[in-house]
Amino acid sequence: MTRADSGPETFTGGIVSFLWNSSANMINAEITNVFVRLMVNDGSLNSDPVTNVVPFTIDNLAPRNVSGIWPGNVVTNLQDHITLSATSATDANALTYMFQVDDSSGFSSPISSDWSTSLTWDTSDLEPDTLYHWRVAAKDSFGNITFSTTYSFFNKAPETDFSKFNLRIRPNHIGCDDEKQVRILMGGDIANRKDSYHIQIFNIMGTRIIEDLGEIPFSKLQKGYTWDFSDKNLKSGIYIIYAGENKFRKNLYIQGCK
């Protein structure tokens, strides 16, 4: 290690202190057993050096070799969660890791894990047919942080078999603390389908309309039309989603809301 001097300090009694900028003398360094030596000069003679007896550590070098393993730039089959994994980074001190996932490559609104020693993290609530970006960060015990490169995976929804249903919703059970959205999908006999379907939502008795979504193109319903009812303040109960002048219906169950 290269010696670094603070320069002369005037001492007039009491306690004297000075601030030493270690980064100016040791850039990107991890050094243990660092000692401080004090020499006093009365104007004519230097004192014998006094060295502190408790060594300390300097670390301004960020972790190296921060890298993810899975998934890396792949297309996955539809999943509501994926386990992200990373390799151990390199550092002289203890490390913790944090994962981030976002549908924006700029990570403007990422979902992040907590800092921990784990090299894996289970994501949740992934949307179908969505390109996700993810990365992992390593942090040493001195607060130095390094992010990995950015990886991507596409959460591909399976092809829909329209012969097996005419109307369905996802999810059909929603808790009061869940996101207040459902995806309305339609299929059936393609040859006899209509260009659009009138979508309405009623209470279980069919006596009160919750919302009239109007005519929705079949092309949108094939892919899944999202109904957001966060402003409806719906209470626990069963609600009916009708399509095609009440020809098709599905029940939506809301639980835990007073």
CA distance to 72, 158, 209, 246, per residue, from 253 (Å)? 37, 25, 16, 18
Res. 27: pLDDT tops 70: no
- Contact indicator for 186, 197 with CB cutoff of 8 Å: yes
What would be the CATH architecture of the domain defined by 162-255?
Sandwich (2.60)
The SS3 call for residue 1 is coil
The span from the CA of 139 to the CA of 117, in Å, is: 10
Per the rule left: phi > 0, alpha: psi between -120 and 50, beta: everything else, 231 is alpha
Q: What band does 116 get if pLDDT is binned at 50, 70 and 90?
A: very high
Task: Say if residue 160's pLDDT is above 60.
Answer: no
When comparing pLDDT for 61 and 174, which is higher?
A: 174
Which pLDDT score, from 0 to 100, does residue 178 have?
Answer: 85
Within 8 A by CB and 6+ apart from 255, the residues are: 173, 174, 175, 176, 236
pLDDT computed for residue 248 by the predictor:
83
Max CA distance (Å), the chain = 106
Would you place residue 1 in the very low, low, confident or very high pLDDT band (cuts 50, 70, 90)? very low
Gap between the Cα atoms of 191 and 212, Å rounded: 27
Q: What is the pLDDT of residues 125-137, one digit of tens each?
A: 778 778 889 999 9
Strand, helix or coil for residue 221: helix
- We find that the CATH architecture of domain 68-156 is Sandwich (2.60)
DSSP state of 224: -
Are 204 and 240 contacting, i.e. CB atoms less than 8 angstroms apart?
Answer: yes
- Give the C-alpha distances (Å, rounded to integers) separating 36 from 20, 49, 52, 122: 11, 10, 6, 46
126: tokens are 């992934």
Tokens representing 21?
A: 């900028």
Tell me what pLDDT residue 63 has: 87
186, 198, 237, 252 from 249: Cα distances, Å: 11, 12, 16, 10
**Residues 200-227 pLDDT 10s:** 999 888 888 999 999 999 889 988 999 9
**Distance between CA atoms of residues 39 and 22, nearest Å:** 19
Q: Which residues touch 72 (CB under 8 Å, ≥6 apart)?
A: 151, 153
Residue 140 makes CB contacts below 8 A (sequence gap 6+) with: 59, 62, 63, 91, 92, 93, 94, 95
Per-residue pLDDT tens for 170-202?
888 888 888 889 999 887 666 667 888 899 999
Termini Cα distance of the chain: 67
